[in-house]
Amino acid sequence: MCAVRRERNFKTVTGGPVVGQIASEALIERLADWGVDTVFGLPGDGINGLMEGLRRHQDRIRFVLVHHEEAAAFMATAHAKATGRIGVCVATSGPGGIHLLNGLYDAKLDHMPVLAITGMQETSVLGTGYQQEVNLDKLYADVAEYDQMIYNPAQLPSVVDNAIRTAYARRGVAHITVPNDIQVADADADPWQHVAPARPPHTAPVMLQAPGRPRDEDLQKIADLLGSGEKGAILAGAGARHAREELLAVAEKLGAPIVKTLSGKACVPDDSPYTTGGIGLLGTRPSEELMEEIDTLFLVGTNFPYTKHLPAPGKVRVAQIEADPARAGGRIATEVPVVGDAKEGLQALLPLLKQRSDTSFLEKCQKRMQRWREHMAAQQDSGRDPIAPQYVVGVLDELAADDAVLTCDSGTIATWAARHWQVRGGREFFLSGNLATMAPGMPYAIGIQHAFPGRQVIAYVGDGGFAMLMAEFITAIKHQLPVKVVINNNNSLGQILWEQMVLGYPEHGVRYPEPFVDYAAIATANGAFGIKVEKAADVRSAIEQGLAYHGPALIDVNVNPDEPPLPGKVEYQQAKKFAEAFLRGQPRKATIATTLFRDKIEQFKS
Ligand SMILES: Cc1ncc(C[n+]2csc(CCOP(=O)(O)OP(=O)(O)O)c2C)c(N)n1
Ligand SMILES: [Mg+2]
């Protein structure tokens, strides 16, 4: 995945500080030497020198001006997720740096290489409580793997090399903060006497990932363990996204179904006979049932945090391929926690696996999946009023390109997308997997569209998440990006509404007062395509028009606010809590019950 290349970097490597340049140029040029071509951010008085560096080198690096720094960090994270290359964002000192944080935590928790560059007060006033003085290096101590203030131009460009190398190596965030005066100092300034034997290191912009092939004896242990079981399954995550072919080949050999985490949804196509789809609250019933029946489990490229949905302790034998030794074996007692890259590891494992002839367990899962798919298709009901959210995603799924990228927010939308957006062909799916923050969907789409200008990129978002960073739709318009935004407008923080009820209490403080907001008007008032949809009969044509439009398009669909995203397998306790919330005075009982009991009554019985 990582596109760090030795040849390219060495060709462009710069010898040292250039006379006549300012220090910011040494920093910006070094980014370009590392292959960075896009930087997302928003200027301020703390980074005017850095902006001058970007201005002078705009032929090598494009600056994408956003409306909120949090969005810039999401864009950088999405860039890393979709390209495998480091994402870069910049923000001014104090408030700008603070705004980046949520997006940077998204990168940290999903293990993405991202570099944040911030401004800092000039060195002469540091520690005096000068305006906007926030110790960003201290503030970033938790989020960043590498976190460094520049005190002297002589630190550049080596600190950039260290920052980027660390971000790639530790799969996380690096932070460089540059005081105002240093930004505009001469690049070759070396103002202080060196105290022997110190000399600033001269480094090269190069990094090669360590080989990902595990040891043969460890692979043999995996093969033996997996061969010992009668009912095996694979749980694949985001770390296996680049190993589709290998995953399918291993599943075929083992006769084992592949369960996918949501971040790993694009690992294998949803219509593959080898997958039972997602797991967890927004997963499928066949995946949940399978976890109760298996005797062996093979984790590949996943650090799936919802351990309640994994087999009970002691019930299964577990093998794993995981990139980070600190994470291997961290979720379930794992007999063989092997460290390595998913693709290289599976490739090397394949010849060691024996072909399983008894495929009865896989066939059982396939039959269940057949029923689940029918159940999902039935929910994509065009005849319902208000509009069923499942129907909207179903139509989007049908009409979108085979290589479309879907980005998604946290909320009920994640459930609808998990179940009704089908990965097929070259389709991709991205969301904030571990931070599960609201609002990244649209900035993700913008970041990805910049990296892949010709690709269909769709943000499927909630009204709550969209409203948080809706100014970024204006960013899409200003940059003439053809992103498509589909809003699941339920006029509420839907996910939390249902969570409150599952806790046994009536909802509180989760619905916005009526009327529903018209978000489409923001698009049309600013020269983009926008359409408000209030009837199911209009959904298809609205999505068709939006997808066909040559520029940014926003499709704002008022959906049923009383549609619960139920787990694939509703447990007795959950149903009981729902009932308690009803008894305690849950508002809108009648409309909720209409949806709930029409579709779900059979599940409640089980
Ligand atoms: C920044 C942030 N604030 C709050 C939450 C808690 N939260 C998770 S989902 C959700 C509701 C999101 O509402 P919306 O975007 O409209 O999606 P819906 O669930 O209605 O589909 C909330 C408040 C969060 N995950 N992130
Ligand atoms: Mg909502």
**pLDDT given for residue 552 in this prediction:** 98
> What is the tens place of the pLDDT at every residue in 40-65?
999 999 999 999 999 999 999 999 99
Mean pLDDT of 95-119: 98
**pLDDT given for residue 15 in this prediction:** 58
Q: Is the pLDDT of residue 570 over 90?
A: no
86 contacts 115 by C-beta, under 8 angstroms? yes
**pLDDT given for residue 599 in this prediction:** 61
**pLDDT given for residue 569 in this prediction:** 83
**pLDDT given for residue 503 in this prediction:** 94
Regarding the beta carbon of 410 and ligand 1, being less than 6 Å apart is answered yes
**pLDDT given for residue 196 in this prediction:** 86
Regarding the beta carbon of 495 and ligand 1, being less than 6 Å apart is answered yes
Q: Is the pLDDT of residue 223 over 60?
A: yes
Of all ligands present, the nearest one to the C-alpha of 435 is: 1
Cis peptide before 201 (omega within 30 of 0): no
Mean pLDDT of 294-299: 98
Q: Is the pLDDT of residue 244 over 90?
A: yes
Torsion angle defined by CA atoms of residues 95, 100, 102 and 107, in that order, rounded to the nearest 10 degrees: -160
Regarding the beta carbon of 500 and ligand 1, being less than 6 Å apart is answered no
- What's the 81 CA to ligand 2 centre distance in angstroms? 25
Regarding the beta carbon of 413 and ligand 1, being less than 6 Å apart is answered yes
- Nearest-atom number in ligand 1 for the CA of 413 is 21
Q: Is the pLDDT of residue 7 over 80?
A: no
Torsion angle defined by CA atoms of residues 276, 280, 285 and 290, in that order, rounded to the nearest 10 degrees: 60
Structure tokens at 522: 């923001």
> What is the tens place of the pLDDT at every residue in 255-275?
999 999 999 999 999 999 999
Q: What pairing do the DSSP bridges indicate for beta strands 529-533 and 484-489?
A: unpaired
Of all ligands present, the nearest one to the C-alpha of 565 is: 1
Mean pLDDT of 193-222: 95
Q: Is the pLDDT of residue 326 over 50?
A: yes
- What's the 408 CA to ligand 2 centre distance in angstroms? 13
Q: How confident is the model at residue 600 (pLDDT cuts 50, 70, 90)?
A: low
Return mean pLDDT, the chain: 94
Q: How many residues does the chain have?
A: 606
**pLDDT given for residue 354 in this prediction:** 97
**Residue whose token pair is 């906007």:** 132
Regarding the beta carbon of 496 and ligand 1, being less than 6 Å apart is answered yes
Q: Is the pLDDT of residue 12 over 90?
A: no
Structure tokens at 187: 């690049």
Q: Is the pLDDT of residue 8 over 90?
A: no
- What's the 464 CA to ligand 2 centre distance in angstroms? 5
**Residue whose token pair is 């066949």:** 286
- What's the 99 CA to ligand 2 centre distance in angstroms? 23
CA distance 275 to 288: 13
Q: How confident is the model at residue 129 (pLDDT cuts 50, 70, 90)?
A: very high
- Nearest-atom number in ligand 1 for the CA of 463 is 16
**Using CA positions, which residue lies closest to atom 13 of ligand 1?**
493
Regarding the beta carbon of 438 and ligand 1, being less than 6 Å apart is answered yes
**Using CA positions, which residue lies closest to atom 4 of ligand 1?**
438
H helices of 406-452, where?
412-420, 441-451
**pLDDT given for residue 578 in this prediction:** 85
**Using CA positions, which residue lies closest to atom 11 of ligand 1?**
493
Q: What percent of the chain has pLDDT over 70?
A: 96
Q: Is the pLDDT of residue 122 over 50?
A: yes
- What's the 90 CA to ligand 1 centre distance in angstroms? 26
- What's the 437 CA to ligand 2 centre distance in angstroms? 14
**pLDDT given for residue 605 in this prediction:** 43
Structure tokens at 151: 């005190």
- Nearest-atom number in ligand 1 for the CA of 467 is 15
Q: How confident is the model at residue 198 (pLDDT cuts 50, 70, 90)?
A: very high
One-letter amino acid at 566 equals L
Among 16-25, 170-179, 421-430, 524-533, the minimum mean pLDDT is found in 16-25
Please choose, from the candidates 396, 399, 398, 426, the residue with its C-alpha nearest in 3D space to the C-alpha of residue 408.
396
Angle at 427 between CA 548 and CA 41, to 5 degrees: 75
